[in-house]
Amino acid sequence: MTGRGVVSNIASVVSRSLGSPVIDNTGLKGIYDIDLQWAPDSIGAGPTTLATDPSGPSIFTAVQEQLGLRLDPKKIVVEVLVVDSAEKPAGN
């Protein structure tokens, strides 16, 4: 992941990679130049994994060493919307 963005963008990318919610609790504001490289692994390996160096560090290590941020696992309440079924609307 390379580019310019806000810290919440990092949280979104890491969340997709891990397949788990990542909440930005840094309180950091502003736009930053971001260069984050990590290796794909069994956690989050799939089509949303954006790693470019297969021999690089885990995403946890990369976030801490390259960005100076830490991923702290916590249990949080997350709202979930469950759709039991869906139908096309009837014509007028």
Q: Is residue 20 part of a domain?
A: yes
Q: Is residue 63 part of a domain?
A: yes
Type and span of the H or E element at 66 = helix 59-67
The pLDDT value given to residue 47: 43
From first to last of the 92 residues of the chain, give the pLDDT tens digit. 788 888 888 899 888 888 888 989 999 999 999 888 888 764 544 444 444 556 789 889 999 999 999 998 888 887 889 999 999 998 76
* Phi, psi for residue 18 in degrees, rounded to 5: -80, -20
Q: Is residue 91 part of a domain?
A: no
The pLDDT value given to residue 78: 79
pTM score, whole prediction: 0.64
Domain total of the chain: 1
Q: What is the dihedral angle through the alpha carbons of 76, 79, 85, 89, rounded to the nearest 10 degrees?
A: -160
The pLDDT value given to residue 52: 52
Q: Is residue 88 part of a domain?
A: no
Structural domain harbouring 42: 2-67
Closest CA to 1 of 83, 12, 81: 12
Q: Is residue 22 part of a domain?
A: yes
Q: How many CA atoms lie within 13 A of 11 on its CB side?
A: 12
